[in-house]
Amino acid sequence: MFRPLAIRTVRWRPLDGAGLEHLTLEPQPDGIRATSVVIGTYEGRPFGARYRVDCAADWSVRA
């Protein structure tokens, strides 16, 4: 079964190139939510993306 999870925020960057991801894992009543912002450059062009993934208590991704 799912053990309690405290809100956790982590950041990391790629080993090569410029960029950063800021990700937060947050417990929900029936699972886990991951929200993230990614920024960086690819082939000299800047990009940014934001995403959210909702998971069940067993970490399976919900549709």
pLDDT tens digits for range 7-55: 999 999 988 878 999 999 999 998 999 999 999 998 889 999 999 999 9
**Number of domains into which the chain is organized:** 1
Please check whether residue 7 is in contact with residue 24, taking contact to mean a CB–CB distance below 8 angstroms. yes
Other beta carbons within 10 Å of 21: 15
Q: Is residue 40 part of a domain?
A: yes
Q: Is residue 63 part of a domain?
A: no
Q: Is residue 27 part of a domain?
A: yes
pLDDT recorded at residue 7: 94
Is the pLDDT reported for residue 57 higher than 90?
A: no
DSSP-derived letter for residue 5 is -
